[in-house]
Amino acid sequence: MRLSVHSLFDSATFNERLFFPGGAQSPRPRGALDLMIAVPGAELHARWHRATAAQATILLFHGNGEVVADYDSAARQFAVAGAELLVVDFRGYGQSTGTPTLRDAIEDARRVVQRIGGELRRPLVVMGRSVGSACAAELYGAGLPELRAVIWESGSVDLAGLAARREMALPDGEDHSFFDPRPKLRRGTLPLLVLHGAEDAIISVAEAQEAVAIAGSSDKTLVIIPERGHNNVASSERYWEAITAFVTKVTGEPE
């Protein structure tokens, strides 16, 4: 049974404006493992790009309009940075079934970690990009024993801004605490890397700065990528240098 609407972020109108499911699929790359993760009412497709020399496993909750298949090539760059990549689609994206909602995306993040926990052989780093930062915030504030660190990329902390970008406004008197990244960031104590494009015209750099300012960890780093916007930060060498240094630091590997 679906949850009755009690928040703007549970409404069909908001979620239809928020999510843009992509249907692209690709053959499983050599050495990768495809998983179907059961969640209530749906299955999520995840692709685990194994890398024998990796120091960590990065679990990536991607951005809007992206799908697992879009990261087949990027997996090689993550491997060079010291991490094997495990990327998971939201409901309705790629090979995943169901219909995406923000609530389900946040709740499913914990289910994904529970599903893969017994198969992890390396420290787990969660990464959330753009809308996927809602998943990263949830896990960052949860104190999960499986989790070593979090990467927050092009993420949003301002619920009013999130609604405004969908041409909606937060109604007075509603309880939005389940969706609010701010208290989750404040609860977090793990190492945190925040990446953001200096020219991001969709989500302001100020939101990245706030994420770092309020995060509860004493080990937190903000890297602003020059001359990059919301969707091209990964094209910068500075981006990969930051991820490489972070993975090295949180796994305790020597420089």
Residue 22's pLDDT band, with cuts at 50, 70 and 90, is: confident
pLDDT of residue 23: 87
Report the chain's mean pLDDT, rounded to a whole number: 95
Residue 2's pLDDT band, with cuts at 50, 70 and 90, is: very low
Model confidence at 253: pLDDT above 90: no
pLDDT of residue 5: 57
Cα dihedral sign, 166-171-176-182:
positive
**Residues paired with residue 88 on neighbouring β-strands, in sequence order:** 46, 61
Q: Which tens digit of pLDDT belongs to each residue from 212-225?
A: 999 999 999 999 99
Q: What is the dihedral of CA 156, 131, 143, 98, to 10 degrees?
A: 150
Q: Which tens digit of pLDDT belongs to each residue from 81-114?
A: 999 999 999 999 999 999 999 999 999 999 999 9
| Domain ranges across the chain | 8-20+29-251
Integer-rounded Cα radius of gyration of the chain: 17
Whether the Cβ atoms of residue 135 and residue 61 lie closer than 8 Å to each other: yes
Cα dihedral sign, 134-45-249-251:
positive
With a pLDDT cut of 90, the percent of the chain lying above it is 93
Q: Which tens digit of pLDDT belongs to each residue from 133-177?
A: 999 999 999 989 999 999 999 999 999 999 999 999 999 889 999
Q: Which amino acid would we find at residue 148?
A: R
Model confidence at 228: pLDDT above 50: yes
Model confidence at 121: pLDDT above 90: yes
Query: pTM of the entire structure?
Result: 0.95
Residue 1's pLDDT band, with cuts at 50, 70 and 90, is: very low
With residue 186 as reference, give the H or E element that holds it.
helix 181-187
The CATH homologous superfamily of the domain defined by 8-20+29-251: Alpha/Beta hydrolase fold, catalytic domain (3.40.50.1820)
Model confidence at 4: pLDDT above 50: no
pLDDT of residue 220: 98
Beta strands in 8-153 (DSSP E): 32-39, 42-49, 56-61, 83-88, 124-129, 147-153
